[in-house]
Structure 1
Amino acid sequence: MISIIMPVYNAEKYVEETIKSILNQTFRDFELIMIDDGSKDSSRTIIDKYLQIDSRTKGIFFEKNRGVSCAREAGFKAAAGEYISFMDADDIIHPRMYEVLYESLLNNSADISVCDFCEFNNELKWGDISHRILTIDEYNGIDVSERMILGKEIGSAGLWGKIYSKNLFNAVDYEVYKRSIPICFFEDGFILPSIYANANKVVHVKETLYGYRIFMQSLSHGLTNGYYFMNQAKAGIENTIFIEKFSDKSTYEHILKRQIESSMLCVMKGFYSYSRYKKDRKKRDDARSYFLYVYRKYQRECLVHSKTNDIQFKMFYFSPFLWTYLVAIPYFEFIRRLG
């Protein structure tokens, strides 16, 4: 059985369509675990409706919003299936997605099966342009983990659109992650490299079976989300430390250089985001402190990249406010206008 874990938060506009796309699967041996994360709209009512209609559904309800990571963790603890899958509450899946992924997993003796996806805004057409999750048919799990961290497998960075053997999650040391950011273990960027690294084989189905909904207003909003940027930065550092025990020296050094640069830039953007509001000054100062910690610890890696980023790092190190006025404000204003 596949346990499908779906956090729901204020998703009344789309969640019923998502639920229907799951319940209408040609593959029938699954349970759908819906976790209402303290929604303030009618999402809970919609979930309750389907709990009465279909015996394959389960509901978990939070009184207050705790975040997608906590919701996924609660769903995972309630999962009875041998296999795990994740859905976003506003996405849609092809009627044959789980049938195809499950057969591929078993036929190839794999631990993870993944499919391609397409993006849509309002209406989904399965013939739309697809995004390739992986570039070849089969991978060793370590290869996928390394390529994900290096950004070579862009489509593989989401938990959705995949089936996982449940034992892959049981093999991960949760406490390592929870010590870093207690609520973020089930965030995609944190957990996926570890899950991939524990897999003996990852198989890729070259079919577009997952519809990922995008929102036109999300670009400029996401680029000023300090919480998101700081999580991305810390996930990058933690995953780089994690991958060291699996990779050869040259590969690890390459990953470290790429990831340190990316994490430093995320911290700087987080600092700018928190600087915009007086209530976030402590978070702003925490971001500054984290930057100094990373910069000093990995100074050699921080100074070997592009001249542009090198100048930014040095400027932020000596005066984050100078960097804010000369770089961040013009940059984010440009992105805002594009959005």
Structure 2
Amino acid sequence: MPASALVSVIVPGWNVAEYAAEALTSVRAQTLERWRAILIDDGSADGTSDVFADFARTDRRFTHVTHPAQRGLGAARNTGLELVDTPYVGFLDADDVMLPRALELLVGSLERTGSDVAVGQYTRLRPAGDGYASSPVQPWVVASTAPARAGVTLAEHPEVTGNIVAWSKVSRASLWRDLRFPQGLYEDQAVTQTLYTRARAIDTVAEPVVHWRVRADGTSITQHEADPLVLAACLDALRDGLAILRRDAPDVALRARIRQILEMDLPRLRALDLPPESRAAVEELAAELAERRLASN
């Protein structure tokens, strides 16, 4: 482990042997070399642990930890957080790809500005032929990051609240002192909004830092939102994030997030083939948000 490491990249994985080497190679290819990576195999039944062990054996910047049984993505990330000893922390899921300048851009921005969180863009890797191809940056991701900003607050840039994934950003490790991921699905929502509300200042990077893989095997959580249990977790997570903004953020940030959910999330969920109970749950959230939007105008 390099004593001079600036950032710890937490890389959890469960049954991702097919993709893990590409993910870890993308970390090793970073133009910023002062990193360490904490690899957590969450009780995989395939060769994920072997891939992690191989990288840790050949490059001491990688640390490999194994859960004896699967505990979930949030728990795996929390295991990594317990081992962080660097000024900054970031995340990468072990089936995604970190672009070469990601850490240079995100850590470099925080080093220059003194801000607490740096937020970058991301694209989706979608199945294409025998492999995967990157898609354009989605409009809401652009809105959260472009143009590049240095040292802004939530009041000055409320649209950043739409960038809720853990792995598109780097933050000061001090923000995580008493913050951990919840168990279950959609772990990122409440945690990310908490980071934003705790940050004294936020930087944005107006270019992609990660390719997010939408897996051809259909195992991505967002590919199963028609499942009543997955949908319920999604709706709960949206509410949890809003509750944090309502409690700790300026009203303009809450209004921005409500607008994002009404314009982005609800149309996607309404387009699913849902049973009546699930459709009613979506419309209940829509009614809640519409009422709050009217009350804040």
- Please identify, of 132-141 and 25-34, the stretch whose mean Cα deviation from structure 2 is larger: 132-141
- Amino acid corresponding to residue 37 of structure 1 in structure 2: D
- Aligned pairs, how many? 272
- The question of whether the paired residues in 2 share the 8 Å contact of 1:237 and 1:260 is answered with no
Q: Take 2:33 and 2:287, find their aligned partners in 1: how far apart are those partners?
A: 54
Q: Take 1:57 and 1:12, find their aligned partners in 2: how far apart are those partners?
A: 17
User: Post-superposition shift, 1:123?
Assistant: 4.4
Tell me the secondary structure at the aligned position of residue 14 of structure 1. helix
Match of 1:137 in 2: 148
- Amino acid corresponding to residue 91 of structure 1 in structure 2: D
**Which of 31, 36, 42 pairs up with 1:31?**
36
Q: Take 1:53 and 1:148, find their aligned partners in 2: how far apart are those partners?
A: 38
- The question of whether the paired residues in 2 share the 8 Å contact of 1:34 and 1:58 is answered with yes
Q: 1:33 to 1:11 in 2, by over 3 A?
A: same
Match of 1:205 in 2: 205
Match of 1:147 in 2: 159
1:99-118 pair list within 5 angstroms:
99-118=104-123
Q: Take 1:26 and 1:256, find their aligned partners in 2: how far apart are those partners?
A: 37
User: Post-superposition shift, 1:163?
Assistant: 1.1
**Structure 2 alignment gaps of length 5 or more:** 1-5, 293-297
User: Post-superposition shift, 1:7?
Assistant: 0.7
Match of 1:334 in 2: none
User: Post-superposition shift, 1:251?
Assistant: 6.7
- The question of whether the paired residues in 2 share the 8 Å contact of 1:115 and 1:161 is answered with yes
Q: 1:66 to 1:119 in 2, by over 3 A?
A: same
How high is the TM-score relative to the length of structure 2? 0.75
Q: Take 2:58 and 2:256, find their aligned partners in 1: how far apart are those partners?
A: 52
**Which of 162, 175, 182 pairs up with 1:168?**
175
Match of 1:245 in 2: 247
User: Post-superposition shift, 1:38?
Assistant: 1.0
User: Post-superposition shift, 1:171?
Assistant: 5.6
Match of 2:187 in 1: 187
Tell me the secondary structure at the aligned position of residue 191 of structure 2. helix
- Amino acid corresponding to residue 145 of structure 2 in structure 1: L
How high is the TM-score relative to the length of structure 1? 0.67
Q: 1:134 to 1:160 in 2, by over 3 A?
A: same
Q: Take 1:19 and 1:28, find their aligned partners in 2: how far apart are those partners?
A: 14
User: Post-superposition shift, 1:20?
Assistant: 0.9
- The question of whether the paired residues in 1 share the 8 Å contact of 2:106 and 2:120 is answered with yes
Instruction: Write out per-residue CA displacement over residues 93-137 of structure 1, whole angstroms, 9 at most, x where no aligned residue.
Output: 222221222211111221112222222233457xx6334352332
User: Post-superposition shift, 1:145?
Assistant: 8.7
- The question of whether the paired residues in 2 share the 8 Å contact of 1:15 and 1:43 is answered with yes
* Structure ranking higher in strand proportion: 2
Larger Rg: 1
- Please identify, of 32-41 and 101-110, the stretch whose mean Cα deviation from structure 2 is larger: 101-110
- The question of whether the paired residues in 2 share the 8 Å contact of 1:189 and 1:232 is answered with no
Match of 1:66 in 2: 71
Q: Take 1:230 and 1:141, find their aligned partners in 2: how far apart are those partners?
A: 31
Match of 1:4 in 2: 9
User: Post-superposition shift, 1:61?
Assistant: 0.8
Q: 1:129 to 1:257 in 2, by over 3 A?
A: closer
Identical-residue share of aligned pairs (%):
19
- Amino acid corresponding to residue 52 of structure 2 in structure 1: I
Tell me the secondary structure at the aligned position of residue 17 of structure 2. coil
Q: 1:12 to 1:200 in 2, by over 3 A?
A: same
Q: 1:65 to 1:107 in 2, by over 3 A?
A: same
- The question of whether the paired residues in 2 share the 8 Å contact of 1:111 and 1:201 is answered with yes
Q: Take 2:253 and 2:153, find their aligned partners in 1: how far apart are those partners?
A: 15
- The question of whether the paired residues in 2 share the 8 Å contact of 1:111 and 1:200 is answered with yes
- Structure with greater contact order relative to length (CA < 8 Å, sep ≥ 6): 2
**Which of 13, 21, 31 pairs up with 1:16?**
21
User: Post-superposition shift, 1:64?
Assistant: 1.5
Q: 1:39 to 1:191 in 2, by over 3 A?
A: same
